[in-house]
Amino acid sequence: MERIFVTGKSGFIGHHLVSALQKNKYSVSGDSNKCKTWVLMAGLMGSVDLQDNIDNNFLLNFNLINNAKKLPEKIIYISSIDVYSPNTYYAAAKLASENFLKIFCKENRIKLIILRPSQIYGPGDKGRKIIPKFINKMRRNEEIQLIDNGVAKRSYLYVTDLTEVIVSLFKKDIQGTYDIIGNRLITIKEVVEVLEKEMNKKARIELGFRPKIKFEKGIKLTLQKNE
C-alpha cells in the first residue's frame, strides 16, 4: 500500500482527501520522509494579516521542505485560482509558494504539479466563503448582503471533484500548472436562489445600504441650511 504525505489533512478539503485516499487503497502517513508523494494543502484562509499569511501560506511549505531528511519524487501543491489577481496577502503568499516550489523542484528533480482550484464547496465546510456563510445566515434567519445586486460571477467546484483529480495524479507522469474549475460561472444571486429552492426557505436580502452622513455632521448641515 503506497503511503502519501498530506499537509492540512484535518481541514475541510483535507478531510475529504483522506477519505478518497482510503477508498482508493492509499495510506496517509504523517512522516514525510517515508513517502514518495507529497500533497501540500495546509494553509490559512480568510486572514487579512500579513504575518499570518507569510507564516501559514508560505513559510509552512518552505520550512517543511527545508527540514526534510528525504525529499519526495513528486509534489502536488494545492494553490488557488486567486493567484491570477493577487490583490490579497493570501493570494500573494500562494503565488510566492508556487514560484519557490518551481525553482526548488527543478533544482532537485522533483516532479511538481500545481493545482489552482476555483471556489471549493461541500459538506463540512465551516469557512468564511460565500456558500457556507449564506447557508448559516439563512438557517439563523439573518440578512444576506448582495453587493451590486449579486451580479458578480464565480466558479464553484464540489470538493470531491477536486479530491478525485488529486488521487488521479499519483499515477500520472505529468508536471505543470493546471486550473481546476467548475462547469460554469455562477452569479452570487444564483447561489442564493438555489439555496432558497433546496432549503425551501426565503432568504432575507439586505440592500447593502450604509448611511454616509454621521449624526453630528447631519445636525451641523441641518442648522446651516435652516439659518
Q: Is residue 101 part of a domain?
A: yes
- Within a domain: 191: no
Q: Do the domain assignments include residue 33? A: yes
Q: Is the distance from CB of 149 to CB of 214 less than 8 angstroms? A: no
For position 45, what pLDDT does the model report?
A: 86
CA-based nearest residue to 42, from 14, 9, 8:
8
Residue % of the chain over a pLDDT of 70: 97
Query: What pLDDT does residue 226 have?
Result: 65
pLDDT for 124-158, tens place per residue? 998 778 999 999 999 999 999 888 888 999 999 99
Residue 64 in any domain: the answer is yes
Q: Give the residue among 127, 161, 145 at the shortest CA–CA distance from 44.
A: 127
pTM exceeding the 0.85 threshold for the entire prediction: yes
Q: How many angstroms separate the CA atoms of 203 and 137, rounded?
A: 9
Burial, 86: exposed, middle or buried (Cβ in 10 Å; 0-12, 13-18, 19+)? middle
User: Could you give the residue ranges of the DSSP H alpha helices within the chain?
Assistant: 12-23, 50-54, 60-67, 89-107, 130-139, 159-168, 188-199, 215-225
Distance CA 41, CA 28 (A): 14
pLDDT tens per residue, range 15-51: 999 999 999 999 999 899 999 999 999 999 888 899 9
Q: Report the CATH number that the domain containing residue 14 is assigned in CATH.
A: 3.40.50.720
- pLDDT for 55 equals 95
* Averaged pLDDT score across all residues of the chain: 93
The answer to whether position 58 is within a domain reads: yes
Q: How far apart are CA 133 and CA 143, in angstroms?
A: 11
Question: Which of 115-119, 146-150, 192-196 has the lowest average pLDDT?
Answer: 146-150
Q: Letter for the amino acid at 175? A: Q
Is 205 part of a structural domain of the chain?
no
Residue 215 lies in a domain: no
Please say if the pLDDT value at position 210 is more than 80: no
First to last CA, the chain: 86
* Mean pLDDT value of segment 70-96: 95
Alpha-carbon distance 37 to 114, whole Å?
13
**DSSP secondary structure, 43-55, as one string:** ---S---HHHHHI
Q: Domain total for the chain?
A: 1
204 in a domain, yes or no? no
Asked whether the predicted pLDDT for residue 182 surpasses 70, the reply is: yes
- Here the cell at position 94 is 500562494
Note down the domain range covering 46: 3-121+157-182
Mention every residue, 6+ apart, whose C-beta is less than 8 A from residue 89.
Answer: 47, 48, 49, 50, 52, 53, 54
Helices 12-23 + 159-168 axis angle, to 10: 50
| Cell digits of residue 67 | 527540514
